Amino acid sequence: MEGVDVAPPHVPPALIRVTAERQPLCLSGGLPYTETVRVWLDLPDAVVEQLAEKGQDLSRAALEALAIDAYRMDRMTAHQLGQLLGIPSRYELDGFLKHHGVPLEYTIEDFEREGATSARLWQKRQQELATEHDRERQAE
């Protein structure tokens, strides 16, 4: 298991060092499933408190930040993001993304499709109300 050190060119190496190491991932029963990459960050104490919300695990904050960045840069789909972060529904994922200031992927085609669906449902409901009104008048 070989480690790789990476330091961003614009940050002095003494401040941030990232070490990545590939490791086999074992599921219950000890069967290897795939490889994972373990990442270590060496950060100054003065910076650590600024990187996570109060009470949030810094490891989780780092994972979320890395995953959000990959999503923003179209390196990861919304489905992959939800799986990685353990977010079970698209609704919850949308809330998570909103909380982190990530705009939703909502195209003009999505808007037009929803508008057409809304118009169709409105017409259907109007027909149902008219039918219901006719029945009430006949019952009188």
Count of CA atoms in the C-beta half-sphere (13 A) of 47: 7
Number of domains in the chain: 1
Q: What is the pTM of this model?
A: 0.56
Q: Is residue 4 part of a domain?
A: yes
- Say if 33 falls within a structural domain: yes
- The per-residue pLDDT for 49 is 79
The residue range of the domain holding 7 is 1-43
pLDDT surpasses 50 at 36: yes
57 in any annotated domain? no
Chain segment 20-30, per-residue pLDDT in tens: 666 655 544 45
68: left (phi over 0), alpha (psi -120 to 50) or beta: alpha
